[in-house]
Amino acid sequence: MVVPTYNEVGNLDELVQRIQQSCLSSGIDAEVVIVDDNSPDGTGARAEELAKDHDVKVVHRAGKLGLSSAVLEGFAAASSDVLAVMDADLSHPPEKIPEMFSKIQSGEAEIVFGSRYVPGGSVEDWPFHRKLISKGATLFARGLTKVKDPMSGFFMLKRSVLDGEKLDPIGFKIGLEILVKGKYSKVVEVPIHFANRKSGKSKLGTGEYLKYLDHAIQLYEHKRFWLSKYLKFSFIGGIGAIINIAVLWFLVEATGVYYLTAAVASFVVAATSNFVFNRIWTFRSKSEIKSQYARFLVVSVDGLFLNLILLKQLEEGLMPAIGITSDKASLFLIVSQLIAIFIVSIFNFVANSFWTYSADIKSRSKKA
C-alpha cells in the first residue's frame, strides 16, 4: 500500500491504523510504504515512529518531487506482487481494500479502481467549481480509458501490469498513465465515498490542472495518434479563425484598408499563425521551414476554395432541394458553413500531414 505524503502528519496515525485494521480483518498481509518528500511538518519523522511497531516502510526523498514519481518509488520499494496507492489525507476509505483485493485475487481483474463515479460511489459536499473541474478532467480522459473514474487516486494492481513499460511520472495522475500504458486485460471499479481531507492543506494548485492537460494530451498521442493530432490541428485552426476576424476588424476599422484587401491580409496572418503553431505543437517539426511554409499556404488556399465550393453546393443545391424557406435561410447558411468547415478541416489536416509535414509524421508514427 503505497502512500505518498507531503505535510500529512495529522492524518498518518489514523491512516495506518485503519489500513492495518481493514487488512487484518480480512487476512491480507499488507505493508504500508510511506513515500515522504521531506515534509516540513515532520510527517517523515512520524512515519519512522510508526514503522517501529507497525508493518510500515518509509522512503525519504530530498524535497517535494511530485506525486507520480513518489508512487513509482513506492512501487520500487515495495516487495509484494500486488500494489496499491492511496492518498494520506483519509479521502479514500481503507475499509475498501479487502473488496478491491478480492477482485485481484479471484482473477476478476488485474487493476481495480476505487471509483466516485460508478453507482454507489460519491463525493462529499464539494463546491460546484470543484465538481465541474473533476468531471471535466474525467470527461477529457474518456477517449483514453473505459474506467469512469481514472483520477480517483485510489487503485490496486498486479505488479505484472507494469512489466516492461516505461512510465512517465508527470503530474498527479499516475493511475491514468498506468491505465493507458500498462499490460492488462481486465479492469474493474469498486464504488467509494470520497471524503474531504481530514487534516492539513491540499497540494492541488492551478498549475496541476495545466500539467494534467499536458499529461492527458501526451497520453492521447501515445494511444490515439491520429485523433490527438487532428484535435490539436483543429484547436489551432479555431484560434486561427479568431485571429483572422480580429485582424480583419482591425484593418478595416482602425486603418481603413479596403475590406477585400484586409480579408486577404487577415487570411495570410491567420494561416501563418496556424503554420507556426502546428509546426511546433501538432507535428513537433524540425524539418526545413521555408518549403514547409509554402506548402502550408498552398494547402490553406486550396482549403479556402474547397470551402467556397462546398458552401455554394450546400446553399444552391441542397437548400432548395430540401425546401428550406427564406425565414430559415440565415440559420441554414451558418449550418452549411459549419459543415463546410468540418470537411475543409479534414482536407487540410490530411494534406498537411501527408505533404507539408510528411517527414515528421513518418518519424513519429514509427516511434508511436
Ligand X SMILES: Nc1nc2c(ncn2[C@@H]2O[C@H](COP(=O)(O)OP(=O)(O)OP(=O)(O)O)[C@@H](O)[C@H]2O)c(=O)[nH]1
Residue 72 or 179: which CB sits closer to ligand X? Answer: 72
Q: How far is the CB of 192 from ligand X (least distance, A)?
A: 13
Which stretch, 90-98, 117-125, 131-139, 165-173, contacts Mg ion (CB under 5 A)? Answer: 90-98
Among 89, 110, 177, 189, the residue binding Mg ion under the rule CB under 5 A is 89
Please report which residue ranges of the chain form alpha helices under DSSP H. Answer: 9-25, 43-53, 67-77, 97-105, 128-140, 174-181, 206-223, 225-249, 259-277, 289-312, 319-321, 329-351, 358-367
# binding residues, ligand X (CB under 6 A): 20
- x/- site string to Mg ion, residues 182 to 211, per CB under 5 A? ---------------x--------------
Among 20, 22, 91, 292, the residue binding ligand X under the rule CB under 6 A is 91
Question: Kindly report the CA angle at 10 between 7 and 207, in degrees rounded to 5?
Answer: 30
Decide if 58 contacts 34 (C-beta within 8 A): yes
Q: How many CB atoms lie within 10 A of CB 274?
A: 26
- Torsional sign, CA 169, 171, 172, 174: negative
Q: Which of Mg ion, ligand X, none does residue 64 bind to, with CB < 5 to 8 Å depending on kind?
A: ligand X
Decide if 199 contacts 46 (C-beta within 8 A): no
Q: How far is the CB of 264 from ligand X (least distance, A)?
A: 50
Q: How far is the CB of 55 from ligand X (least distance, A)?
A: 19
In the chain, the amino acid numbered 131 is: K
Residue 59 or 236: which CB sits closer to ligand X? Answer: 59
Q: Which of ligand X, Mg ion, none does residue 82 bind to, with CB < 5 to 8 Å depending on kind?
A: none
d(CA 70, CA 61): 8
Is position 89 an interface residue for ligand X (rule: CB under 6 A)? yes
Using CA atoms, how far residue 247 sits from 244, 264, 334, 339, in Å, is: 5, 10, 21, 24
Residues 178-237 that bind ligand X (CB under 6 A): 197, 202-204
Q: Which of Mg ion, ligand X, none does residue 4 bind to, with CB < 5 to 8 Å depending on kind?
A: ligand X
Is position 70 an interface residue for ligand X (rule: CB under 6 A)? yes
DSSP annotation of 33: E
Q: Which residue is nearest to ligand X (CB)?
A: 202
- x/- site string to Mg ion, residues 91 to 110, per CB under 5 A? x-------------------
Pairing of strands 187-191, 82-85: unpaired
- x/- site string to ligand X, residues 5 to 44, per CB under 6 A? xx-x--------------------------xxx-------
Q: Which of Mg ion, ligand X, none does residue 56 bind to, with CB < 5 to 8 Å depending on kind?
A: none
Is position 154 an interface residue for ligand X (rule: CB under 6 A)? no
Decide if 71 contacts 157 (C-beta within 8 A): no
# binding residues, Mg ion (CB under 5 A): 4
Which stretch, 59-67, 266-274, 283-291, 323-331, contacts ligand X (CB under 6 A)? Answer: 59-67
Pick from 99, 98, 95, 83: nearest CA to 4 = 83
Report residue 25 as a C-alpha cell.
Answer: 480483518
Is position 8 an interface residue for Mg ion (rule: CB under 5 A)? no
Which stretch, 40-48, 82-90, 327-335, 352-360, contacts Mg ion (CB under 5 A)? Answer: 82-90
Cell 503530474 -> residue? 171
Using CA atoms, how far residue 159 sits from 50, 74, 162, in Å, is: 26, 12, 6
Q: Sort 106 into a burial class: Cβ within 10 Å, 0-12 / 13-18 / 19+.
A: exposed
Q: How far is the CB of 105 from ligand X (least distance, A)?
A: 26
Q: How far is the CB of 167 from ligand X (least distance, A)?
A: 16
Decide if 319 contacts 332 (C-beta within 8 A): yes
Provide the binding-site residues for ligand X, judged by CB under 6 A: 4-6, 8, 35-37, 64-67, 70, 87-89, 91, 197, 202-204
Provide the binding-site residues for Mg ion, judged by CB under 5 A: 87, 89, 91, 197
